[in-house]
Amino acid sequence: MLASVLESYRPQINALAQSWLARGAAQVSLWEGRRLQAAWPQENTPPGKVVAAPLIVDHQVVGELRVVGIDTPGTRERLAADAGLISALIPLNRDLNSLTEELVEARDQLVALYELTQVLRSSITLEQTMDLLTSQAAALVNAEKAFFFLRLPNGNVHTACSPEGWDGPAGLQHVLAELEQGSSPFVSIHRNDPRNTIGLNNLLIVPVQVAGVPFAAIGAADRPGGEFMSSDIKMLQTVARFAGASVENVRMVAANVELVRLRTEMDLAHQVQVSLLPEMVQAAPGFDLWAASQPASQVGGDFYDFIAAQNGVFTFVVCDVSGKGVPAALLMAMARSVIRTDLNHQDSATPAGVICHANEALYDDLSSLGRFATLFVGQILPGSGELVYANAGHSPVIFLPHSGRARLLQADGLPVGILRDTYTRDQVLPFDIGDVLVVGTDGLNEMRSTSGEMLGHERLMALLESLAHLPAREIAENLYTAVRDFGAGALPDDDQTLVVLKRTGV
């Protein structure tokens, strides 16, 4: 105690001793109990009368200030005053040392927190982040054990423990439940606390706030030298704030990585689906053909196809599988494969026959998934001015005769996948020069304006009447533009696919 004071205030105490020597004292000395701490001069105690004054701290005598060889009037009073001065330095020095230690510890903790933030920047996975937080939390509060507990929105629980192999949360579920209820900002229990069911010397747990997570907590246990102090609680709460932000960032990064992966896969699926759509071909002599498809998402359930048979029959198909996205795209690929195989291997296949075979092949898959597909199949026979078609629940199919008003060609059968048997029949449509047939999917007529109003069949037919004089490609392009303008540029709710066939006669 006195040694520390002498080290810190030696110049001042030396000056005090020299003033006594100047007044005639043979020696001045400081004692702590029976131990000599310092003497001026340092030689053995000379003979002479010894006068002493106690050093009192907190009402206890901790040492003495002695002078030898002087006992003039006022000596004892001044010696008592000097002893009181040195006594006052003892608690002051103790407090300063304690403050210095706290500042050093705070500095070390700040450095450790800074290092923690730097290390966390390189952590990629949730497991890595939790492991780092756990080990750093133990070091920052000088605990032998630490753990991190995290319950995700899906109910899955993740834990990390230090040292490896210790599973604190498994035996502390009741304490974690208490903290989760929010009755207190932290839980601190000692060895004899009835909640301490796994024999820890002490335990401190604080909650961790992570956006979108029902509950998370970080805990430390078995701090050597006694219970956790208020500074430990504040430090663990600081770590908890770091932990919440770090876990949230890792989860956001993981979500973004997953989103990028999904986008990449969707882009690839879109490329594959686009590759399935045929290139434009010459339909038949005297006919102008154009087709296009715009999925509502990156992949969809619409498709069109063209097949020119060796016997000169030209067949075109428009199909709309119910639903959107990947499931509809997979069913679309199945339907395309079935229909294309049927047409490529049966030159005599009629539109109704194609639909019947497609229903037989796809019924089990579609019905088990609660899906269906509308299907329009049209054929141009060589040397004929007629169009043979079959319509299984498909709409809109709009016919625009060159000398009349547009009209809908209604379906005479249910979509594929509704019933095991189909009742669709072949229909014959006279097709004169200047006539136009537009086979679309419902993403066109169901396009909505900003007020929620649907485009509808009537507006769609009116648009087509105003475009019927144009070539097939321009009809399609202008129709898409008009539909997009009606929706004020908004993304469609459903896929938009169409085939435009126009009789030119040349």
pLDDT digits (tens, 9 = 90+) for 338-389: 988 888 777 678 999 999 999 999 999 999 989 999 999 999 988 777 899 9
pLDDT given for residue 506 in this prediction: 64
Residues 58 and 474: their CA atoms lie apart, in Å, by 101
Q: What is the pLDDT of residue 267?
A: 67
Cross-strand pairs, 398: 408, 438
pTM listed for this prediction: 0.56
Distance CA 318, CA 316 (A): 7
DSSP assignment string, 5-67: HHHHHHHHHHHHHHHHHHTT-SEEEEEETTEEEEEES-SSPPSS-EEEEEEEETTEEEEEEEE
Strand 302-308 with 287-294, pairing: unpaired
Are 27 and 65 spatial neighbours (Cβ–Cβ below 8 Å)? no
- Cα 19 to its chain centre, rounded Å, is 74
What gap in Å lies between CA 473 and CA 425, rounded to an integer? 30
Residue 194 phi/psi, 5° resolution?
A: -60, -20
Residue found by looking up tokens 């696919």 in the block: 497
pLDDT at 104: 47
Between CA 132 and CA 152 the distance in angstroms is: 19
Residue 467 phi/psi, 5-degree rounding, is -110, -5
The answer to whether residues 330 and 320 touch, using CB atoms and an 8 Å cutoff, is no
The per-residue pLDDT for 123 is 54
- Which residue positions in the chain have pLDDT lower than 70? 98-124, 254-262, 264-276, 297-299, 347, 506
**Two tokens, residue 338:** 């079935």
- The helix or strand, by DSSP H or E, that contains position 497, with its residue range, turns out to be strand 496-503
**pLDDT at residue 324, as a whole number:** 75
Cα–chain center distance at 370:
32
Q: What is the rounded distance in angstroms from the CA atom of residue 342 to the CA atom of residue 351?
A: 11
Residue 407: which residues within 8 A CB-CB, separation 6 or more?
398, 399, 461
Domains of the chain: 2-103 (3.30.450.40), 123-253 (3.30.450.40), 277-503 (3.60.40.10)
Q: At what angle do helices 456-467 and 472-486 cross, to 10 degrees?
A: 140
Q: What is the pLDDT of residue 498?
A: 94
Q: Please give the structure tokens belonging to residue 216.
A: 């998370």
Report pLDDT for 229. Answer: 87
Per-residue model confidence (pLDDT) at position 122? 56
Alpha carbons 193 and 191: distance in angstroms, whole number: 6
Residue 172's Cβ-count burial label (10 Å; 0-12, 13-18, 19+) is buried
Q: What are the pLDDT digits (tens) for 426-444? A: 999 999 999 999 999 998 9
Given a contact cutoff of 8 angstroms between Cβ atoms, the answer to whether 235 and 141 are in contact is yes
> Which pair of tokens denotes residue 37?
């701490």
Please return the burial class of 392, using the count of CB atoms within 10 Å of its CB with bins 0-12, 13-18 and 19+: buried
The DSSP call for residue 335 is H
